[in-house]
Amino acid sequence: MQRAIHGVMLTVARALALIGGGVLLALIVMTCLSIAGRHLAAALGSEAAQTLVPGLADALLGLGVGRVFGDFEMTELGMAFAIFCFLPYCHITLGHARVDVFTSALSDRVNRWLRLVAEAAFFLALALIAWRLSVGMSNRLRTGQTTYILEWPVWMPYAACLGAAVVAVVVAAYMLAVRMIEAVQDRDIIDEPGEAER
């Protein structure tokens, strides 16, 4: 049963991480196109281009060659969403940074209880973040606030981040339950180095 639940949690976390990776890839392509377009527009508007090939330069500029409109806003919104998409996978695969200089000398039993405390802190922090995202989304939805350049409704990226944050909270609750069982039963269920189970 526990293995099946772990498999479902891991699958959901991986799928969300892949979505976040797709968003990051799209942002990278968009940023490259925006930078290349900005430089090309500057070159086409230069005195040399206007002297050598004025018709071609004007035609390309007329087609809209230049930076991607609203690229900074898209990057800002997309990065926030991608970060929330990666949280569940990082959490379930134990990818968070840890410093175990002091805990490595402690017994396995003490370390299991310390992991339980750390999982409780993660769960509480993620629940707080999800709650505040829901409050922020409700406020933006009520006020009708939009982004400055693209004029996109601000509640939409809040909702996307909230969805990913809720998945992170569910995964954190699962990991908290696992760590609680480990501490009480004094046995490891999830191996520390990665996502495999015993």
Average pLDDT on 134-138 reads 96
Structure tokens at 12: 């959901």
> Which tens digit of pLDDT belongs to each residue from 67-97?
899 999 999 999 999 999 999 999 999 888 7
Lowest mean pLDDT among 20-24, 106-110, 126-130, 161-165: 106-110
What pTM does this model have?
Answer: 0.85
**Does position 118 have pLDDT exceeding 70, yes or no?**
yes
Predicted local confidence at residue 196, as pLDDT: 38
- Average pLDDT across the chain, whole number: 90
Check pLDDT > 70 for residue 46: yes
Tell which residue, 19, 3, 185, has the closest CA to residue 88.
19
Name the DSSP class of 190: B
What are the structure tokens assigned to 5, written together? 């639940």
The per-residue pLDDT for 192 is 66
The mean pLDDT value for 19-39 works out to: 96
Sorted by where each begins, the domain ranges of the chain are 2-185
What pLDDT was estimated at residue 90?
A: 94
Backbone angles phi, psi at 102, to 5 degrees: -85, -35
- What are the counts of helices (DSSP H) followed by strands (DSSP E) for the chain? 6, 0
> For residues 152 and 146, what is the distance between their CA atoms, to the nearest angstrom?
5
The helix (H) or strand (E) run that includes residue 63 is none
Quick check: 194 pLDDT over 90? Answer: no
Per-residue confidence (pLDDT) for residue 197, from 0 to 100: 40
Count of beta carbons in the 10 Å neighbourhood of residue 136: 15
Q: For position 157, what pLDDT does the model report?
A: 95
* Both structure tokens of 51: 């002297």
Q: Is the pLDDT of residue 48 over 80?
A: yes
Q: What is the pLDDT of residues 138-176, one digit of tens each?
A: 999 999 999 999 999 999 999 999 999 999 999 999 999
